[in-house]
Structure 1
């Protein structure tokens, strides 16, 4: 009785690994692009959801709620850089900073994947009033990636407090250097 050993031969293993390497070489660049597009879409969704949450919370609580860029998750930054993250905080006295740690309602970490977020000059934060309105100028937070045509779009909050996204199917020149 002849008994064959079960398993792969060295030749079969080498051929299988070669085919796998070819498939991976074709798939990885496409996967990287898909991952970058997913990061971009997630950034839009997270920022828009945070702004909508702050607006609803201001109406529900009957007190102002502010959203601002934050590096540490406890205080607002003094510039227009939102890339490091942002916070939502109860703001009954309309202060430029949260007055206590428990005033912070939500903290979101910064964006990843070579993306940059900056608000327009002159408006560093948005304060939602108990009516849901965000009085003052419109706030635009621009999303860019490094490169010649890196301006992907903006999240815009109008005076009525409604956040919306504006995305470009063909990216444009970024108004700031990421």
Structure 2
């Protein structure tokens, strides 16, 4: 009866480890890009959901409703990469330069701040804005400045995975893909 070998030799083990290292080295960067692409998509969807919520509340309540960035959860005092709130806006006109939050009860919903690698920008008429206001009829406030365009992406996303959300003067949202913000 002869001796039967069981297990792997050292050479076989080293070759297997080298092949595994090459496969992992190729897969990990692609996986990271895929994760950032999905995070960009989710960020764009969250922002679109917040805008849709604000618009629907403006029609339901028959009042000015504003989506804005916040640092403390009760005032419109932050940027888009901070937390967001939807508030009942008691500004005197639809074209007022800043939202007015009467008290803490005026805050309708709160969204946690996105990750530090998030990039969010909003412009209206070529100027950066810090809030989006809807009139009591669900139309865009400050509409004389034109549509609002918001870009949402995460650092490291690839190709056209960033999201552009356009809020038209009538208050309707359109979301599309973009390369802005992706590397």
Q: TM-score, normalised by structure 1?
A: 0.72
Could you say which residue in structure 2 is the equivalent of 1:161? 171
Alignment RMSD (CA, Å)? 3.4
**Distance in 1 (alpha carbons) for counterparts of 2:166 and 2:82:** 19
Residues 60 and 24 from structure 1, CA distance in 2 versus in 1: closer, same or farther, beyond 3 angstroms? same
**Distance in 2 (alpha carbons) for counterparts of 1:90 and 1:45:** 22
**Distance in 2 (alpha carbons) for counterparts of 1:105 and 1:10:** 66
SS at match of 1:69: strand
- Aligned match of 1:136 in 139, 142, 148? 142
Could you say which residue in structure 1 is the equivalent of 2:69? 69
Could you say which residue in structure 1 is the equivalent of 2:49? 49
**How many Å apart are 1:118 and its aligned residue?**
1.8
Could you say which residue in structure 2 is the equivalent of 1:3? none
**Distance in 2 (alpha carbons) for counterparts of 1:107 and 1:150:** 31
For the pair 1:31 / 2:31, whether they are aligned, the reply is yes
Residues 71 and 20 from structure 1, CA distance in 2 versus in 1: closer, same or farther, beyond 3 angstroms? farther
Could you say which residue in structure 1 is the equivalent of 2:3? none
**How many Å apart are 1:135 and its aligned residue?**
3.0
Q: TM-score, normalised by structure 2?
A: 0.70
Moved more, 17-26 or 60-69: 17-26
- Aligned match of 2:131 in 110, 125, 130? 125
Could you say which residue in structure 1 is the equivalent of 2:102? 99
Residues 16 and 72 from structure 1, CA distance in 2 versus in 1: closer, same or farther, beyond 3 angstroms? farther
Structure 1 unaligned blocks of 5 or more:
1-5
Higher relative contact order (CA 8 A, sep 6+): 2
**Distance in 2 (alpha carbons) for counterparts of 1:77 and 1:150:** 33
Moved more, 19-28 or 44-53: 19-28
SS at match of 1:21: helix
Q: How many residues align?
A: 165
**Distance in 2 (alpha carbons) for counterparts of 1:150 and 1:119:** 21
**How many Å apart are 1:50 and its aligned residue?**
0.6
**How many Å apart are 1:98 and its aligned residue?**
2.5
SS at match of 1:32: helix
**Distance in 1 (alpha carbons) for counterparts of 2:13 and 2:54:** 57
SS at match of 1:66: strand
